[in-house]
A and B are shown apart, each in its own frame.
Chain A
Amino acid sequence: MTSLVAKRPAAGRVGRLGAGALALVVLLLLAFAHLELGARDVPLATLVEALMAYNPEQFEHFIIREMRLPRLLIALVVGAALAVAGALMQGVTLNPLAAPDILGVNLGASLAVVLATAFGLGSLETLPWFAFSGALFTSLLVYLIGSLGRSGATPLKLTLAGVAVSAFLGAMMSAGHLLHEAGFERLRVWLAGTLAGRDLDVFAAALPYLVVGFVLALLLARQVTALALGADVARGLGIHTARLRVLALGCVVLLCGAAVTVTGPIGFIGLVVPHMVRTFVGLDYRWVVPLSALVGAAVLTAADIVARVLLAPQELATGIVTALVGAPIFVALVRWQVR
């Protein structure tokens, strides 16, 4: 048996609103810290000035407006997207280990983007679509492999299928690298998952899909909650379970594909954040989805601060920071949630 939440009851409405307010405050603080800290720390007064009365002549203003603000925006939106995708995947598959990175969806999207870029196929408009097809193909493949055999798609089988498919995709990636070194070299940092030097144009191209993904996730939330009572109960309540699964898959593909297009594959946020959120607000996905967005945004912002500050003036890839923190939590989840 697996369970999707700790055995203590969820907070009531007041507790949930409190958790939401707390998450929002933490997110704002982190956002300010993100703008302020870095290779060059900016005093708070200068920061406020740069936001309120921008003077492009001033170097510090320039850093904040042209470099840190776009990067913050990307961290917020991509963090939210990955966390919401993870929450949906865990809710719909009733699998506590489901997440965009664990099930290989991010890597599938990455490979498609890498191939498109390396062979000069992708443009700003088409890149997200390469990512979507990569994400969709990988999701279906992992689900198919994970469902083989009599017991169906158990959490461990699905996770193993994700690992196997990821290994395969990784091998493809290495093969591509060897065959087409120059084309891949440009993507080396992107593949580690990074927010450095990201182009706002790519972000702008991906944003509409992310917005659609977020709205769809909120619309599906109530049905995802009911699905946790089992497919028969959900159908008895008047839910089209097959349609719900297809829509949720579409939503995950949009969110992960678009996120990967912008930052490359960033791991563990989609896995860990929904668990954190459910511990506080319980299993009602009308709360889990929006709060996952808030907390996911906060966690990726925090990870990006660490990535920039830890070895300053050198920088770590943000994806490496999330992996450093996320991997031990993943082990703990396997230990406590899958029996």
Chain B
Amino acid sequence: MILTGHSFRKKSPLQARALAAGYGATPILDDLELDVPDGQLTVLLGPNGCGKSTLLRTMARLVAPMSGSVLLDGSDIHRLPTREVAKRLGLLPQSPMAPEGLRVRELVAQGRFPHQSLLRQWTTQDEAAVARALAITGVEALAERPLGTLSGGQRQRCWIAMTLAQETPLILLDEPTTFLDLRYQLEILELMVQLTHRHGRTVVAVLHDLNHAAAHADNLVLLREGKVYAEGPPEAVFTAKNIEAVFGVACSILRDPASGHLLCAPARGGAVPVAQHQAIGP
């Protein structure tokens, strides 16, 4: 097979089809369609309550859909055996908590769970996967430290290492940079870029910061009221019109002279009145 750069696109490994999901009686996601592109960093972006976390959790089979389906490599993820899913899709939930006495290596080793069974206990393969995960995330030096002694940024890297030790082609991260200092946020974002482009994973992440999303994502998904409002490379969808429609904020889009990335500069007093915001139809 000849790979011809960008024109070559494998089938999407993770798709949402007419998806409706939520926690109460009224669905948060409404008839949502999404194809996660293979081998790219996809970022889900949208205001509070738009359903970005619900979408990620439903795609990770933590939330059962009310109607519609999520397809993992073409088959319904909610019908696949959960351990089979865990070999193909890794998930890091929002602000995970672990016992403070747990050592980093022990945490990361938990990622091997789906690959083990009663007959197949810990193997050299598992050991190698843990070592790789520690290396990629740069936490080898911390491996014997208890989690309770680490900073927030270090801890988050260790959690990502646990997800990596699962050795899944797909990785879903729910707000992996929230509550971290800027420096650590950038480290985690860079790690996500490396995972996609150097290690060949497909990564989907929920982010809060618009500019971080625009600078790092290959594919931006803007969500509004439970639907995909716009989707594509930042150059195409990170526009003042889209941001205003999705976030209800008037802004200008600039280009950072140093990096060439797009930046969103909200206008002072730029919050659009709610009624007017809702009038901006999709």
Q: Report which A residues bind B (CB closer than 8 A).
A: 3-10, 219, 222-223, 225-226, 228-230, 232-233, 235-240, 282-284
Provide the residues of chain B in CB contact with A226, threshold 8 Å.
110, 113
Evaluate contact between B113 and A239: CB separation under 8 angstroms.
yes
Produce 1/0 per residue, B103-119, CB < 8 A to A.
Answer: 10011001101101010
Evaluate contact between B103 and A10: CB separation under 8 angstroms.
yes
Partner of A236 from B62, B100, B101, B102 at Cβ < 8 Å: B62
Evaluate contact between B118 and A219: CB separation under 8 angstroms.
yes
Evaluate contact between A9 and B96: CB separation under 8 angstroms.
no
Q: How large is the interface on B (under 10, 10 to 19, 20 to 34, 35 or more residues)?
A: 35 or more
Provide the residues of chain A in CB contact with B103, threshold 8 Å.
9-10, 282
Nearest chain A CB to B11's CB is how many angstroms away?
A: 24
Given known pairs A4-B99, A9-B145, the reply for A232 and B93 (CB within 8 Å) is yes
Partner of B82 from A228, A232, A235, A284 at Cβ < 8 Å: A235
Nearest chain B CB to A221's CB is how many angstroms away?
A: 11
Produce 1/0 per residue, B15-46, CB < 8 A to A.
Answer: 00000000000000000000000000000000
SS class of chain B's interface: helix, strand, loop or mixed?
Answer: mixed
Nearest chain B CB to A182's CB is how many angstroms away?
A: 51
Evaluate contact between B93 and A284: CB separation under 8 angstroms.
no
Whole-angstrom distance between the alpha carbons of A311 and B26 in the complex?
68
Whole-angstrom distance between the alpha carbons of A163 and B265 in the complex?
58
Provide the residues of chain B in CB contact with A6, threshold 8 Å.
101
Evaluate contact between A5 and B110: CB separation under 8 angstroms.
no
Evaluate contact between B110 and A283: CB separation under 8 angstroms.
no
Does B60 touch A at the CB level, under 8 Å?
yes
Interface contacts beyond A10-B102, A228-B102: sample of 14 additional A-B pairs, CB < 8 Å, sorted by A: A5-B101, A5-B102, A7-B101, A8-B146, A219-B118, A226-B113, A228-B98, A235-B61, A236-B93, A237-B111, A240-B82, A283-B99, A283-B102, A284-B106
Provide the residues of chain A in CB contact with B61, threshold 8 Å.
235
A/B interface sample: 19 pairs, CB < 8 A: A9-B101, A9-B144, A9-B146, A222-B113, A222-B116, A228-B98, A229-B107, A230-B98, A232-B62, A233-B93, A233-B162, A236-B62, A238-B84, A238-B86, A239-B113, A282-B101, A282-B106, A283-B99, A283-B101
Does B180 touch A at the CB level, under 8 Å?
no
Whole-angstrom distance between the alpha carbons of A219 and B113 in the complex?
14
Provide the residues of chain A in CB contact with B246, threshold 8 Å.
none
Produce 1/0 per residue, B71-83, CB < 8 A to A.
Answer: 0000000000011
Does B148 touch A at the CB level, under 8 Å?
yes
Nearest chain B CB to A126's CB is how many angstroms away?
A: 33
Whole-angstrom distance between the alpha carbons of A5 and B103 in the complex?
12
Does B176 touch A at the CB level, under 8 Å?
no
Nearest chain B CB to A23's CB is how many angstroms away?
A: 20
Nearest chain B CB to A280's CB is how many angstroms away?
A: 12
Provide the residues of chain B in CB contact with A283, threshold 8 Å.
99, 101-102, 106
The chain A residue with its CB closest to the CB of B60 is A236
Provide the residues of chain B in CB contact with A8, threshold 8 Å.
101, 146
Evaluate contact between B96 and A233: CB separation under 8 angstroms.
yes
Provide the residues of chain A in CB contact with B87, threshold 8 Å.
238
Nearest chain B CB to A3's CB is how many angstroms away?
A: 6
The chain A residue with its CB closest to the CB of B113 is A237
Does B97 touch A at the CB level, under 8 Å?
yes
Provide the residues of chain B in CB contact with A7, threshold 8 Å.
100-101, 146, 148
